A and B are shown apart, each in its own frame.
Chain A
Amino acid sequence: MMSLKGAADSLSDGIDEQWLQTKPISLWKTTLRRLLRRKTGIVGLILIGFMMTMAIGAPAFAPYDPEQVLIGKEKVRKREAPCIHLLGCPSERPQHLMGIDGNFRDQLSRVIYGARVSLSIGFTTVLFAFFGGTILGAIAAYWGGWLDNLIMRIMDVILGFPSLLLAIAIVAVLGPGIRNALFAISIVTLPAYARVMRASVLSIKEMDYVAASQALGASRLRILLTRIVPNALTPIVVLSTLGIASAILDAAGLSFLGLGAQPPTPEWGTMLGAERNQVFSAPHLVFFPGLAIMLTVLGFNLLGDGLRDALDPRLNH
C-alpha cells in the first residue's frame, strides 16, 4: 500500500516537473500557430510576403528606374498599331516584360515600385485609424456619459457620408496629393475602428479581472492601459488587416481620379488612370496594375479572415 502511494507520488511529481519544463505559451504565439494551420491564412501571408518583398527590394528587382523616360534610348519607339498581347508588344520584348507605358517608362519597374506606395499608404492609414480609433473608442466606452455621446455622434456623422465621396471632399479642400489622400482615407475609416473598440471595451470592462484590479487599488488609467486595452485589441486587429485592403483600394480610387498620388509617382491607381484610354489598344498597361491591386487586397483579406478564425475565443481548445 505504501509503495503504491509512493509510486503514485513519484509519478505525479515526474509529470509535474515535465510539465513545468515546457515553456509557457502566450496567446499571441498560439494565434500565430493557429493562423499557419489554415490555408487561407497561409495564402494571405504568402501574397503579402511577396508584395512586401517587392516593395522592400524594389531597386534590386526593377530593371529600370520607374520614372525614367526611355524615349531615344534602346530603340524605344512610339507605338503605332494596337498590340493586344498579355506580356506587352512583341517589339518591346524581352527587355520590357510588361511593356512600355504611354510616357515611355518601363511598366514592370513601375508596377514593382507601386507596391512600395500602395503598401505604405495601406499601413499608414490603418496605423492612423487604428490608434485614433483605439483611443477614441476606449475613452468613449470607459468614461461614458456625455463624452461617449459626443465622440460617438461625431463618428456617426462621418459614417453618414459615403466614404469615397467624403474622402474626395476632404482632398478637394486640402488639395490633391498623396499625403492629403492618406489623411482623408484615415478620417473616413476612423469611425469603424472607434465603434469596434468601443464595443469591445464595453464588454471587457465588466469582466471580473477588471474588478479585481480595481479592488487591488489600481488607478483607472492603469486598469485601462494594462487590463482593458490589451484584451480589447483582438477584434480591432482583425479589422485592421481587412482595413489595409480597403485603404489600398480607396487610395487607388482617389489616385485614379487624379486626387491621390500625382504623376510621375508609380502608384497603381494613378497608372490605371493614366492608361485607361489604352484599354483596347494596349490592355496589358491596365491589366498588371489592376492585378497587383487585386492580389494585394486579396492577400490582406485572406489574412484578415485567417486571423479572425485564429483569434476566435470559441475555438480556444
Chain B
Amino acid sequence: MTDHLIEVDRLTKRFPVHSGLLRRQTGAVQAVNEVSLTIRRGETLGLVGESGCGKSTLGRLIIRLIEATSGSVLFDGQNLTQASRDDLSKLRRRMQIIFQDPYSSLDPRTPVGNSVAEGLKVHGSSETSEQHKQVGQILERVGLQRAHAQRFPHEFSGGQRQRIGIARALVLQPDFVVCDEPVSALDVSVQAQVLNLLRELQRDLGLTLLFISHNLAVVEHLSDRVAVMYLGEIVELTDRDTLYQDARHPYTQALLSAVPVPDPMRRGKQTILQGDVPSPLNPPSGCKFHPRCPVARKTCLSTAPELRDIDGSGQHQVSCHTVNT
C-alpha cells in the first residue's frame, strides 16, 4: 500500500471542434495537457487557476466522469482509465464529486432523500429501511434534519442544497472526493459554514480531497498542497506554506499579488498581467505563458518547459525556464 491514493500520469483531454457543412473536425481544444500529479492519502490538494484553464475538466477526468484522450489515472494502485465497466462501478463507490452549482446539481423532480439514497440503491448494499436510516444519518451529519429527506430541492437555500450535495457524495463513504468549486456560488457567510463542514468531515472520515477553486484564500484555508494550473497545464505544485510565501512561477506570483490585502500601506509590488488568457484552441508556442510573462526569455518562445523539482526534495515543482534550481 503506497501513501499515494491517486497517481495521475500525463493525463490529456482534447475536445474536438467540428465545423463546416460536413461537420469535419477542424481543431481541438486542449483542455488538459499532459498533467501528472499525485495525491496522498488523507491530504487536501488545492487546484487553482483562472476560469477556463481546465481545472474542472481535470477533476472530472480523475474520477473518469469524462474519458481521457490519453494518459492514465491510478486509483489506489488500480488503473482507472482502463477499468472495465464492472470494475469501474465498484471503484465509483470510493470516489465522489461535489459540484459548483447547487441549483443544477440536484434533480428538481426528486425528493432530496431519494437523490442522496441513489448511491445506496445503485450499489444495492442494504435494505430500504437501512437506506432510510443511512440517509437520515448523513443528512444530520451535514447539518440538516432527517425530515428534510422528503422535501424537494426548490424548498432549500443555496447553502442547504450544497449540504445535500455533500451528503449525496459522502453517503457511500468514499475515500476520495473531488470538490469542484463547492463554495464559489454561495454567499460569503455561507461559504465559511460549508468550508468548515468540509474540513470537519475530512478530519472525521479521513477523506482525501481534490479541492478545485479560483479563490486563493479558500484554497489556503483548506489545502495541504496546492497545484496552480494555466491553460491545461500545471505550472507550479508545492505545499501550501511554500506556495503562499515563496511562489516561484511568474504566473503564481502574479495570481498571489492580485489577492487584495486589507492594508492600504502595503501597496506596491503588484504584477498585473497584460492581455487575456490565450485561446486553448490555438495555444502559444513554447511556454504557454510567454505572451503574458513579465520575465519571458527567447527560449520561452520556442521550448515548452517541463515541470521539475527545484529544491531537490521533490516538494516544490515548477515549470519555468527562468527559475533556477
Contact = CB atoms under 8 A, between A and B. Distances in A.
Interface in B115-170: 115, 118-119, 122-123, 145, 147-148, 150-152, 154-155, 165, 168-169
A231 B108 CA distance: 8
Given A208-B101, A209-B115, A227 B155 contact: no
A207 B110 CA distance: 14
B63 A215 contact: yes
Given A26-B152, A222-B122, A217 B89 contact: yes
B96 A24 contact: no
A11 interface: no
A218 B105 CA distance: 15
Chain A interface main SS type: helix
Interface residues of B, number: 38
A24 B111 contact: yes
A27 B110 CA distance: 9
A179 B135 CA distance: 51
B42 to A, nearest CB: 21
A215 B92 contact: yes
Most buried by B among A24, A26, A219: A24
Interface string A1-29: 00000000000000010001000111100
B123 A27 contact: no
A209 B154 contact: no
A208 B102 CA distance: 9
A212 interface: yes
B122 A217 contact: yes
Contact of B109 (A208, A217, A218, A230): A230
Interface in A54-89: none
Contacts of B109: 26-27, 230-231
Interface residues of A, number: 24
A216 interface: yes
B65 A211 contact: yes
A213 interface: yes
B24 to A, nearest CB: 15
Interface in B49-101: 60, 63, 65, 88-89, 92-93, 95-97, 99-101
B123 A209 contact: no
A24 B168 contact: no
B41 to A, nearest CB: 20
Contacts of A227: 107, 110
By Cβ-Cβ distance, the 9 closest A-B pairs, closest first, are A217-B92, A208-B105, A216-B119, A208-B99, A24-B151, A209-B107, A208-B104, A217-B89, A24-B150
Interface of B: 60, 63, 65, 88-89, 92-93, 95-97, 99-101, 104-111, 115, 118-119, 122-123, 145, 147-148, 150-152, 154-155, 165, 168-169, 172
Interface of A: 16, 20, 24-27, 207-209, 211-219, 222, 226-227, 230-231, 316
